[in-house]
Amino acid sequence: MSYYELTLLLRTREGNSGSKRKNRKYTDLPLTESAFYRLSQTQILAFSLGVIIFIVSLLFNWHATILIIIGGFTLFYFADMLFSFILIFRSFARNPEIKITDEALAKAEKLNHWPTYTILCPLYKEWQVLPQFVGAMANLDYPHDKLQILLLLEENDRKTLAKAYEMNLPKDMKIVTIPDSRPKTKPKALNYGLKMAKGEFLVIYDAEDVPEPLQLKKAILAFAKTNNDTVCVQAKLNFYNPRQNMLTRLFTAEYALWFDLILTGLQSISAPIPLGGTSNHFRTVYLRRLLGWDAYNVTEDCDLGIRIAERGYRTAIFDSVTLEEANSRVLNWFHQRTRWIKGYLQTYFVHMRHPGQYWQNGQKYNFAVFQLVVGGKTFTTLVNSFMWIVTIAYFLFRPQAGHLIESFFPGPIFYLAIFSLLAGNFIYIYAYMIGSLRREQYDLVKYAFLVPFYWAGMSLASWVALYEILIQPHYWAKTIHGFHLQKVNLPPAISPTTTAGAPY
Amino acid sequence: MEKLSLTKHPELLLTIILAILSTVSTIYYFHQGTILAYGDAESHINIAKRVVDSLTPGMAQLGGIWLPLPHILMIPFVKWDFLWHTGLAGSIVSGAAYIFAGYFIYKITNLLTGNKIAGLIGAFIFALNQNVLYLQATPMGELPLLAFFLASIFYLIKYFQDSSNIPVLIFAAFFAFCATLSRYDGWFLVLFEALAIIIFYFRKPSSFRELEGKLILFATLSFLGILLWFIWDGIILGDPLYFTSSPFSAKSQQNSWLTKGELPAYKNLSNSLAYYTVTSAANIGIPIAILSLLGLFIFLWQKRSMQRLLVILLLSVPFTFYVATLYIGQSVIFIPQLTPASFEWRLFNVRYGIMMVPFAAVFTAYFWSQWRNRIGKFVTLLLIAFGLLYYGLNQYGMPIVLADGTLGLSASKHPEAQTWLAGHYDYGLVLMDDYARTISIAKSNVPMNNMIYVGNKPYWEDSLKTPEKYARWIVMQKGDAIWNGIYENPQVQPLLYKYFYKIYTSPDILIFKRQA
């Protein structure tokens, strides 16, 4: 255990800073179930054993070792491609997302019996988008006497705190100051907020979010349409600045694919759904039973989604959209992506500590899906760059290295690899197009051809994520928001300029 | 559990009947020994066989001239020598395609008429066509193309009826993709489908963005097969345009006709139109061709909508394709009604006309559906039945497509040398120029992986320089690559006589065997 981890552990268990406030426990999850540790002792042992076997095999027969590894990669790519194809197909065939009709809404309006709702909004150094968020909350079509909106602000973020106190916030919006403590992560803030939550239902919005005004009502009706084991419904995310630049266009196409095809596909096979960072609506009592978020996981959303499935609960996607800000700056995007991939790695390691449990709990199927969705997506992102280099090297240096590279791809592996390369890349590019079309963002379809460059960025981010997980596993690279404010015209109802005198 | 009623599920009933028709027809032609009547039929099945059984097996054996999908579909079946020798591996693929095509004719007709019985009539006009029944028993590529072509058109018409339905647009693109990898006619199909999508949106200038998105979605998948074929030819054969520029291409073959002055439709539009019209009528049969034209006129007369024009545009793609390729000299048809008696051959490639049978089936069924009274419907049915029996334009006493395969230039050759080799071959590798179709490999008793041909590159090239290196047998035909490269090559000929002796002689074919 590193000194850093030891310090964190001591702080969490006993507190050592001298401040009473800092003694509060910010996660109810046992550390053994959190990303506090990178790997369990068994995992360290297994990993070390794997490395030793690899080195010995290389020394014994390097060619066969590399051939077996490439064969394994190829099989995995093929499985991943097949799985993604099935998800996309089922997403169309089943159309599983919960749809709330106008009639159902009108009927519920007549009953006028809406439950209490808590909205958690963690903010950190995001004072620029605060007026926009206040506007978006004011715009929500929900009885405001049933709403509890908690702005979760960090004690050391003085500027946002000052700005928030300066604003004429509505009555249902309360500022909660989170004592200065480590880790400085969003899930820690959310856990703090969860302890104060009074609503029967609870949702998380990021500061830059603009949810559809009817989203809370739709979420209630979506819950009503499901069984009690559905403890979370996830709204779909989209962007209000998709055409700001090339990066936002590709990011938008990616979100369309993820939320409209992959997640709905996962829902159609009742598989674990890695939650999106915002607009997850919970039955609060179940969220507490699940012990909230993992304060040490930098993609706490993904982790919670998997934990929901592990405990036998479900997540469903419902037909409502929250608009966010698409990252428009490359470096900012890169940091965000690095964090996401690092979080997926953390989640994978956490939930692989006791893989036998999946068998004991009768969740073999969820185990396989978990391998493909969380493990597989991360793994392929990492390995992609290596495979691209091999492919490019083959064509560039065919006379010199052609025979050597070919020797690693004997018959069946070669055909499987070629098929996966062509069909796999095509299916993904095509899926980006379908996602954009489904959202009627027709002009974005053509940009799907540029997605390979986007993947290259993702692959690079994955290697940085791997480095970070070794050096600073709990570091939360804050995504900076507000770059759109000068460039994008938001709808008048949520424009920051119209919220100063919010009518409540 | 609810009992499955065939009358309530006409699709199921139709599929069963089509499967029975396909099986009976295949058994009939199997017993007649005409499944591999076409020279091309055996070449198709050999290509598939070489992928799994060859001196150099692998996907590269698919070659770069004929489009690969029908061969790929045969691969699971050709592994069994019985299915290869008999050609049944290809019959299975064509038979399945026949059922698929019949099913989609039903669906298209049903979509246009809203009448399931009309759909069944359309399907049976296609399914009972004698030329179709013969071709579906062979390994030829027409039936797979028809199946993909019809499926793609069906989904595109559905899309035109509801343009918010993205999955049907993807299905249309997917089947078009399959069509582009089945026969070159499919390339024309995707062009016309893309054109139809543009026309469909052209009426609404406000939806340009939608057109852009949907057209890209459609074209990305449907044109992918063409792109892959260019890449394949580039990687495997070193020339992306190998399929059109190689000495084995259709263009090269047509050039030889041109030099003989026997390419009557070349740069002659009226001849091109006449040749394909007569060939189509010979395949469809005169009575049904007339009924379908009446149906077409009524279809247009009732409502001259853009959607109807698009349906006609799509179903008549083969007509446009063949007229265009005849005109530019990329294809050739000989048919006795038009081909001068002075020509060397007067029956060749008449099977191209089969591509218009679905057009005739759909519009004849449409014609039937428009009768309000039973007598009209009954008389039309009688005319259809008559049309299925009487074709006109055919003096051969057998389906004209079969006549082409047995009497025309398309027929495979069965020289005496083939029978001789089948009786005398013992073991060892056989060097033969398969492109010259000297003898039928499938009927010669030689296992495919004992053949050395141009596709086994290292073996082939070495054998032309040092024939004794691998081969125990050498089969050559006057003028083929082996005749020119070994027999008539003064540098190599001494090796031939040093290591081999002539064991079979005929005016055109010589067979050599390795000396003991």
B171 touches chain A (CB under 8 A): no
Q: State whether A438 and B209 contact (CB < 8 Å).
A: no
How is residue B59 written in tokens?
A: 């996907």
Q: What is the pLDDT of residue B1?
A: 47
Residues of chain B neighbouring A249 (CB-CB closer than 8 A)? none
pTM over 0.80: yes
Which are the contacts of B269, defined by CB distance < 8 A and separation ≥ 6? B323, B327
| Distance in angstroms (rounded) separating the CA atoms of residues B401 and B510 | 32
B209 touches chain A (CB under 8 A): yes
Q: Among A415, A422, A433, whose Cβ lies nearest the Cβ of B59? A: A415
Residues of chain B neighbouring A411 (CB-CB closer than 8 A)? 58
Q: State whether A430 and B220 contact (CB < 8 Å).
A: yes
Give ∠ CA A438-A440-A441 in degrees, rounded to 5: 110
A395 touches chain B (CB under 8 A): no
Express each pLDDT in A462-475 by its tens digit.
999 999 988 888 77
- Mean pLDDT of the region A73-89: 92
Residues of chain A neighbouring B68 (CB-CB closer than 8 A)? none
- CB atoms closer than 10 angstroms to residue A47: 12
Examine the predicted complex and report whether its ipTM is higher than 0.90. no
Q: State whether A434 and B166 contact (CB < 8 Å).
A: yes
**When comparing pLDDT for A171 and B105, which is higher?**
B105
Residues of chain A neighbouring B224 (CB-CB closer than 8 A)? 426
Express each pLDDT in B66-100 by its tens digit.
999 999 999 999 999 999 999 999 999 999 999 99
A89 touches chain B (CB under 8 A): no
- Mean pLDDT of the region B420-439: 92
Q: State whether B166 and A429 contact (CB < 8 Å).
A: no
Q: What is the mean pLDDT of chain B?
A: 93
Residues B356 and B283 sit within 8 Å (Cβ to Cβ): yes
Checking if the pLDDT of B432 tops 70, the result is yes
Express each pLDDT in A21-43 by its tens digit.
443 566 788 888 888 888 888 89
Q: What is the pLDDT of residue B89?
A: 97
Pairing of strands B471-477, B429-432: parallel
Q: What is the pLDDT of residue A230?
A: 94
Q: What is the pLDDT of residue B112?
A: 95
Checking if the pLDDT of B106 tops 90, the result is yes
Size of interface A-B (CB pairs under 8 A): 41
Checking if the pLDDT of A198 tops 60, the result is yes
Checking if the pLDDT of B3 tops 70, the result is no
**CATH number for the domain whose boundaries are A24-504:** 3.90.550.10
Q: What is the pLDDT of residue A15?
A: 36
- Mean pLDDT of the region B20-31: 98
A22 touches chain B (CB under 8 A): no
The domain locations on chain A are 24-504
Q: State whether B217 and A433 contact (CB < 8 Å).
A: yes
Checking if the pLDDT of A498 tops 60, the result is no
Checking if the pLDDT of A478 tops 90, the result is no
Instruction: Give the burial class of A28: count Cβ atoms within 10 A of its Cβ; 0-12 exposed, 13-18 middle, 19 or more buried.
Output: middle
Q: State whether A434 and B210 contact (CB < 8 Å).
A: no
Residues of chain A neighbouring B212 (CB-CB closer than 8 A)? 442-443, 445-446
Q: Which residues 416-445 on chain A approach chain B with CB closer than 8 angstroms?
A: 422, 426, 429-430, 433-434, 436-438, 440-445
- Starting at the edge strand found earlier in the chain, the sheet holding B500-505 runs B451-452, B429-432, B471-477, B509-514, B500-505
In this prediction, residue A2 has a pLDDT band, given cuts at 50, 70 and 90, of very low
- Mean pLDDT of the region A50-56: 96
B228 touches chain A (CB under 8 A): yes
How is residue A305 written in tokens?
A: 């989604």
- Mean pLDDT of the region A331-347: 93
Q: What is the pLDDT of residue A7?
A: 40
Task: Return the closest-CA partner of residue A346 out of A184, A469, A464, A476.
Answer: A469
- Mean pLDDT of the region A280-294: 95
Which are the contacts of A479, defined by CB distance < 8 A and separation ≥ 6? A327, A332, A335, A336, A339
Q: What is the pLDDT of residue B325?
A: 94
Express each pLDDT in B130-162 by its tens digit.
999 999 999 999 999 999 999 999 999 999 999
In this prediction, residue A162 has a pLDDT band, given cuts at 50, 70 and 90, of very high
Q: Which of A22-26, B217-221, B314-318 has the lowest mean pLDDT?
A: A22-26
